[in-house]
Amino acid sequence: MNLKVDVQEEGHSRVVYLNGEVDVYTASTLKEKLIPLAEETNKTLAVDLSNVNYIDSTGLGIFIGALKCTDKSGSTLKIRGANARVKRLFEITGLSEVIEIDTEQREEA
Amino acid sequence: MQVQTHVDIHSEWGIVAARQAGRKLAREIGFGSVDQARITTAISELARNIYLYANKGQIYIEEVVNSGKRGIKIVAKDQGPGIKDIRKVMEDGYTTSGGLGAGLPGVKRLMDEFTIDSELNNGTTITSVKWLR
Amino acid sequence: MEETKLSMYQLYKEMLNDYLQHKSEHVLYSAQQLSKEMLEKDMSPEEMVSLHISVFKEMVEDLPEEVVDSFELLLEVMIGYGLAHREFMSLRDRQRQLDSELNVAAQMQESLLPHEEINLKTLDFGVISVPSGKMSGDYYHYIQDENGNMGVAVADVIGKGVPAAMCMSMIKYAMDSLPEQRLQPAALLESLNRVVERNIADDMFITMVYGSYDPKKHNFYYASAGHEPGFFYNADTDTFEELETKGLVLGITPKVHYEEFSLSLEPGDFVVLLSDGVTEGRTEGEFIERDDITKLIRKYKHLPAQDIVNQVFRELEKMQDFHLRDDFTLLILRRNV
């Protein structure tokens, strides 16, 4: 399985577009890109999951690592575009209470 | 006084010359064709290591005698960067360019004695001996 | 050594002679058997080639020079194969050593799990836990206190294998150090969370569900730290309901409040707790859905709890072609009377 990671500046926030599966095989790829962005101070970091159909627990761990980083750096982590299966994972683990999850899909896509 | 041959290694030609010198001496000492091929392969690998990692160095080949036993001693010397983690390069399965079975663990298997001295930024000396049975 | 070489020489000579004369399949078969013996005696390919040349030279007079020379070249090539073969042997030894270390570690891990028999007239209890590899990142726990209350837990460490297993032992020791709160699910998770948060890497976490059953009131109290929701089976309506859960996984922030839920169990009702290895399994790329799990449990619900979990595991294992993607734990607690 592969994961494509694209980073774009959109207004005042960084958006990380993911395409593929976030699992034990691709987690390190995501970590390398996401953690440095999360360490930047006072930014909004959004992760777009519109093209992600599966996240396993190792993948979820990367988001938790990023959340801890943004808490330290004074930045904000947001998740958007998650499908039902992925959203359920964030809800079950209680992460939807500590990470802002936008339920709206991106219309222009 | 034993004969000592020394070959400078700074190109693949040097590797071939070292092989040739080693095979000749091994034959003279009385090694059979399998052992000749093993000794030559060991020289090859040592010389290649010099060529690849230190750019240049020397291979010394000489006959040795110990309590009536005859053997061949190969010394590979370079003034290159040295080996940072000797344990690691001596590990099976560790390879930077040698491929399956090759490299220093291979040399150790082909020969009877094997010692390695290396200092960071100060070069490496590898001494190995094979005894005639 | 020299003796075996000599007998090998003799044996090979007879074999080659025989073959050159009769060209029979029978001799070829013996040659194949011989190669096994040679491998066992650690004979290298270059020695084999050398044996062939010397036998051949002796048998055929005036062997053309080209033939002899060609074998010299072959010998040189075979040295490399010989080295690769020996490296393989040494790597195989190392793998065996690692395997036996892992086996010992797996046994140690197994000893961290409870082994007492549960003998309660009022309760039927069964649990199964199978690692996807040798070591597991799943943990389960059960305990009976002096009042007959029963505590049960299932925890799942992120990832699997050795790192997950090391983390799992932390949960076990942390639980042992919290004696007083054992049967109070929310308080227990809050204490555990503090321990985990202090001791875990940034991108690690643990999910856990803890429940306790009061056999006098027939109530099941539970709290969940981000754990895969279990099921409640209602015998009267013959339906499965998802256990209501809410709560953050262990190890994110030190202060977390967990909500406690309760269920009232009638005779025949049961509670199912599981790790996400149960639902994260896949068959031919398709996910195993939670519905599939409840269907399987329903199929075996007439059996004792331990048999249900065993049978469900067997079927899920088969559905995944005996390749578990994640550690698997399934626990059932049923009210008998």
* Tens-place pLDDT, residues C238-262: 999 999 988 999 999 998 999 999 9
Residue in C with minimal Cα distance to B109: C83
Question: Do residues C248 and C257 make contact, with C-beta atoms less than 8 angstroms apart?
Answer: no
Choice between C298 and A24, residue whose per-residue pLDDT is larger? C298
**Are C and A neighbours with ≥3 CB pairs closer than 8 A?**
yes
* Chains contacting B (3+ CB pairs below 8 angstroms): C
Are C228 and A92 within 8 A, CB to CB?
A: yes
3-class secondary-structure state, position B29: helix
3-class secondary-structure state, position B122: coil
Q: Which residues of A touch C229 (CB under 8 A)?
A: 92
Residue in B with minimal Cα distance to C52: B34
Q: What is the pLDDT of residues C116-175, one digit of tens each?
A: 888 788 899 999 999 988 998 899 999 888 788 899 999 999 877 888 888 889 899 888
Closest Cα in chain C, distance from residue B67 (Å): 22
C324 Cβ under 8 Å from any chain A Cβ: no
Q: Which two tokens stand for residue A8?
A: 């774009």
The yes-or-no verdict on residue C230 having pLDDT over 80 is yes
DSSP character at residue A95: G
DSSP character at residue B4: E
Q: Identify which of C159, C227, C248 has the shortest CB distance to residue A97.
A: C248
Query: A1-5, B96-100, C49-53, C71-75: lowest mean pLDDT where?
Result: B96-100
Residue listed under structure tokens 């549960």? C118
Per-residue pLDDT of chain A (109 residues; tens, 9 = 90+): 689 999 998 888 899 999 999 888 898 899 999 999 999 888 899 999 999 988 888 889 999 999 999 999 999 999 999 988 888 889 989 999 999 998 765 444 4
Percentages of chain B per state (helix, strand, coil), in multiples of 5: 40, 30, 30
Share of chain B above pLDDT 90, in %: 65
Question: Do residues B34 and C75 make contact, with C-beta atoms less than 8 angstroms apart?
Answer: yes
Closest Cα in chain C, distance from residue B40 (Å): 9
User: What is the rounded distance in angstroms from the CA atom of residue B41 to the CA atom of residue B71?
Assistant: 16
Give the phi and the psi of residue A32 in degrees, each rounded to 5: -60, -35
Question: Do residues B8 and B79 make contact, with C-beta atoms less than 8 angstroms apart?
Answer: no
Nearest Cα to A76, choosing from A101, A52, A51, A59?
Answer: A101
Residue in C with minimal Cα distance to A56: C280
Closest Cα in chain C, distance from residue A108 (Å): 30
User: What is the rounded distance in angstroms from the CA atom of residue C78 to the CA atom of residue C66?
Assistant: 18
User: What is the rounded distance in angstroms from the CA atom of residue C306 to the CA atom of residue C271?
Assistant: 13
Q: What is the structure's pLDDT at B24?
A: 96
pLDDT classification of C280: cutoffs 50, 70, 90: low
The yes-or-no verdict on residue B133 having pLDDT over 70 is yes
Dihedral over alpha carbons C146, C152, C157, C163 (to 10 degrees): 50
Cα–Cα distances in angstroms (integers) from residue B46 to residues A16, B58, B94, B107, B129, in the given order: 49, 10, 16, 8, 13
C280 Cβ under 8 Å from any chain A Cβ: yes
Q: What is the structure's pLDDT at C188?
A: 93
Query: Which residues is C117 bridged to in the sheet?
Result: none
Are B37 and C90 within 8 A, CB to CB?
A: no
Cα–Cα distances in angstroms (integers) from residue A61 to residues A102, C188, C316, in the given order: 19, 23, 26
Q: Which residues of A make CB contacts under 8 Å with C?
A: 24, 31, 56-58, 60-62, 64-65, 67-69, 85, 92-95, 97-98
**HEC per residue, chain C:** CHHHHHHHHHHHHHHHHHHHHHCCHHHHHHHHHHHHHHHHCCCCHHHHHHHHHHHHHHHCCCCCHHHHHHHHHHHHHHHHHHHHHHHHHHHHHHHHHHHHHHHHHHHHHHCCCCCCCCCCCCEEEEEEEECCCCCCCEEEEEEECCCCCEEEEEEEECCCHHHHHHHHHHHHHHHHCCCCCCCCHHHHHHHHHHHHHHHCCCCCCEEEEEEEEECCCCEEEEEEECCCCCEEEECCCCEEEECCCCCCCECCCCCCCCCCEEEECCCCCEEEEECHHHHCCEECCEECCHHHHHHHHHHCCCCCHHHHHHHHHHHHHHHCCCCCCCCEEEEEEEECC
Nearest Cα to C257, choosing from C193, C203, C206?
Answer: C193
pLDDT averaged over chain C?
Answer: 89
Intervals of CATH 3.60.40.10 along chain C: 114-335
Intervals of CATH 1.10.1240.30 along chain C: 2-94
B111 Cβ neighbours under 8 A, 6+ residues apart:
B38, B39, B42, B74, B128, B129, B130
The sheet carrying A100-102 orders its strands as A3-10, A13-22, A44-55, A76-80, A100-102
Architecture of domain C114-335: 4-Layer Sandwich (3.60)
Hey, what CATH topology would domain C2-94 get?
1.10.1240
* Chains contacting A (3+ CB pairs below 8 angstroms): C
The CATH H-level superfamily of B4-131 is Histidine kinase-like ATPase, C-terminal domain (3.30.565.10)
Query: Which residues is B6 bridged to in the sheet?
Result: B60
Q: What is the pLDDT of residues C66-118, one digit of tens each?
A: 999 999 999 999 999 999 888 888 899 999 999 999 999 999 999 999 988 88
Are C252 and A60 within 8 A, CB to CB?
A: no
Question: Do residues A98 and C252 make contact, with C-beta atoms less than 8 angstroms apart?
Answer: yes
Q: Which residues of C touch B102 (CB under 8 A)?
A: 80, 83
Q: How many contacts (CB atoms, under 8 Å) link B and C?
A: 47
Q: Which two tokens stand for residue B24?
A: 């000749």
What are the boundaries of each domain within chain B?
Answer: 4-131
Q: What is the structure's pLDDT at A77?
A: 93
Q: What global pTM score does this model have?
A: 0.76
Are A98 and C158 within 8 A, CB to CB?
A: no
Q: What is the ipTM of this complex?
A: 0.84
User: What is the rounded distance in angstroms from the CA atom of residue C114 to the CA atom of residue C140?
Assistant: 8
Length of chain C: 337
Q: What is the structure's pLDDT at A109?
A: 40
Q: Identify which of C226, C228, C287 has the shortest CB distance to residue A94.
A: C226
Are C80 and B93 within 8 A, CB to CB?
A: no
Q: What is the maximal distance between C-alpha atoms in chain B?
A: 41
CA angle C303, C309, C314 (to 5 degrees): 105
Closest Cα in chain B, distance from residue C66 (Å): 16
Closest Cα in chain B, distance from residue C131 (Å): 28
| Pairing, β C328-335 against β C270-274 | antiparallel
Q: Looking at beta carbons, which pairs linking A8-12 to residues 24 or more positions away fall under 8 Å?
A: A10/A46, A12/A43, A12/A44
3-class secondary-structure state, position A43: coil
Q: What is the structure's pLDDT at C278?
A: 65
User: What is the rounded distance in angstroms from the CA atom of residue C230 to the CA atom of residue C276?
Assistant: 10
Dihedral over alpha carbons C90, C94, C100, C101 (to 10 degrees): 160
Closest Cα in chain C, distance from residue B21 (Å): 16
Question: Do residues C151 and C212 make contact, with C-beta atoms less than 8 angstroms apart?
Answer: yes
Nearest Cα to C319, choosing from C292, C290, C291?
Answer: C292
